[in-house]
């Protein structure tokens, strides 16, 4: 197997996690760093400093980290490795609104760097609500914790967790607040979907295989479907979900990121800005909906009581901390068009929802049917060739094509060629946060969103939200029972074009 052209070289650094006692840190961030260590990828010298309002000692934080890794890590705890990992975990309590907390953070950080002989490289991970980001970056600046970008001195980088705002105006304010303290080259806006192995492989699939790129356009492709299905409900995120909803939580970032990788033009090279330039062009090319079109091309739904995997579940409005009259959507389906030469009049259908029959994420590219000239004497209807990129849970790629059934008569049936990452490469794919943290340590922003990309995405989403919020003539909220594939209106969205959703 060939070595990567540009191997990632993570630098010794301290990862400072704001929200270090929170759910994201426990479930994803600390296990991700631990897995990088076991895989031999982590830099030889590093530290993790958690920060949060919860008054934890270093010993408390280390015990919490061990429990989190035991529960959420893809690799088990190694008693041989654990002692050294544990001694690099620290915690300092403090409020994001308290200037004294940042002075205490600086003192603790400098002491850790001295004790572990770290060079002063720092990554600040903002696993905090969007409303607290401005306070956090200003506190870092005031305490002198941020170094300007330099090729010689120690680096300072900031990772901003989504959602970045709740609309274009708030996203701009957050971006401006961060940009007053950090240079754009130091800002890493994270979307964990871009860290998934199969998502990254989309570029390889398209541009490293000459059989696909020549037919990746309106002449050969009938339509594209992007599905993110979740079996679980809102769970403990009800308070956040009531504020955000599925359109803001999933479509504005994850879904549009997937769409960009499917639809983008070949970049001039594999540099971060070359790839991100092409993604921004896609978002700018999305056809905007007029207010009266939102109800026609966008479906919003909310789950009611039903059953998932045979277990009864309550409806969204009966979930804890949810308004019993809530209009928040838990499902969205859209018919989208990219107005450029490659995708002229090719619809891209997107759907995402909670309490669906299973959890799965996939992209399916449906090619136009072959002419029936040779087979019109038979009643056989030729199916479309479909290329499926499975992102989770069973990462892989499959291609459906037509084949003759063995026998004396000419009978045609679809068959599937299937590739699975796990069986083909003999090892599990790394978690998304592992790759993204590694990239941040290496200074590679390719898989992170740039400011203009985030703001262009909000410019597309805002008119939809505005149409939904109207007191009069707002498109209606549809309902679907938990355990179904969404509201009937979503099926009609495709049926109006003579198409159907692919069964997962």
Residue pair 501/494 in contact (Cβ under 8 Å)? The answer is yes
String of DSSP letters for 350-419: EEEESS-SS-EEEEEEEEPPPPSGGGTTS-PPPPPPEEEEEEESS-EEEEEEEEEPSSSS--EEEEEEEE
254 is catalytic: yes
Question: 274-282: which pairs have CB atoms within 8 A and are 24 or more residues apart?
Answer: 275/203, 275/446, 276/445, 276/446, 276/449, 276/450, 276/453, 279/453, 280/450, 280/452, 280/453, 280/456, 281/340, 282/338
Q: Which of 349, 331, 360 is nearest to 229 (CA)?
A: 360
Annotated catalytic residue: which of 6, 254, 420, 466?
254
Per the structure block, which two tokens stand in for 186? 């130091």
What is the Cα–Cα distance from 436 to 200, expressed in whole angstroms?
11
Backbone angles phi, psi at 247, to 5 degrees: -60, -50
Tokens of 335: 């018919």
**Pairing verdict, β 221-229 and 348-353:** parallel
Could you check whether the bond before residue 393 is cis, i.e. omega within 30 degrees of 0? yes
Where in the sequence numbering do the catalytic residues fall? 254
């Amino acid at each position: 197997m060939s070595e990567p052209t540009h191997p990632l070289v993570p630098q010794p650094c301290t990862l400072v996690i704001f929200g270090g006692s929170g759910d994201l840190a426990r479930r994803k961030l600390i296990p991700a760093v631990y897995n990088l260590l076991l895989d031999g990828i982590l830099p030889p010298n590093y530290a993790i400093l958690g920060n949060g309002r919860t008054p934890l000692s270093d010993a408390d934080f280390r015990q919490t980290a061990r429990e989190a890794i035991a529960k959420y890590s893809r690799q088990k705890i190694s008693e041989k490795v654990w002692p050294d990992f544990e001694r690099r975990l620290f915690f300092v309590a403090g409020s994001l609104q308290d200037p004294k907390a940042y002075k205490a953070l600086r003192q603790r950080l400098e002491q850790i760097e001295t004790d572990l002989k770290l060079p002063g490289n720092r990554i600040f991970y903002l696993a905090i609500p969007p409303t607290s980001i401005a306070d956090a970056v200003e506190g870092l600046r005031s305490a002198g914790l941020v170094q300007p970008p330099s090729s010689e001195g120690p680096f300072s980088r900031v990772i901003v967790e989504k959602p970045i705002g709740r609309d274009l105006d708030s996203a701009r304010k957050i971006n401006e607040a961060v940009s007053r303290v950090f240079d754009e080259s130091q800002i890493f806006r994270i979307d964990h979907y871009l860290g998934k192995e199969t998502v990254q492989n989309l570029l390889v699939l398209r541009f490293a295989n000459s059989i696909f790129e020549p037919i990746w356009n309106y002449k050969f492709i009938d339509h594209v479907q992007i599905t993110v299905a979740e079996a679980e409900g809102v769970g403990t995120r009800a308070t956040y979900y009531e504020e955000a909803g599925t359109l803001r939580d999933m479509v504005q970032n994850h879904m549009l990121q997937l769409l960009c990788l499917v639809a983008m033009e070949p970049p001039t090279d594999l540099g971060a800005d070359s790839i991100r330039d092409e993604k921004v062009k896609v978002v700018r090319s999305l056809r905007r909906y007029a207010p009266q079109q939102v109800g026609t091309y966008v479906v919003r739904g909310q789950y009611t009581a039903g059953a998932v995997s045979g277990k009864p579940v309550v409806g969204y409005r009966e979930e804890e901390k949810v308004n019993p009259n809530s209009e928040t959507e838990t499902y969205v389906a859209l018919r989208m068009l990219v107005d450029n030469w490659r995708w002229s009049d090719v619809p891209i259908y997107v759907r995402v929802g909670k309490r669906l029959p299973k959890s799965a994420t996939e992209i399916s590219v449906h090619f136009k049917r072959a002419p029936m000239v040779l087979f019109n004497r038979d009643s056989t209807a030729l199916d479309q060739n479909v290329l499926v990129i499975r992102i989770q849970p069973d990462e892989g790629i499959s291609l459906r094509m037509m084949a003759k059934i063995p026998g004396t008569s000419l009978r045609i049936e679809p068959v599937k060629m299937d590739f699975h990452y796990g069986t083909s490469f003999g090892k599990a794919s790394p978690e998304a946060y592992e790759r993204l943290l590694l990239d941040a340590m290496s200074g590679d922003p390719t898989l992170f969103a740039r400011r203009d990309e985030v703001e262009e995405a909000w410019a597309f989403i805002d008119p939809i939200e505005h149409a939904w919020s109207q007191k009069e003539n707002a498109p209606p909220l549809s309902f679907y029972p938990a355990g179904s594939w969404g509201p009937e209106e979503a099926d009609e969205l495709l049926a109006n074009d003579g198409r159907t959703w692919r069964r997962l």
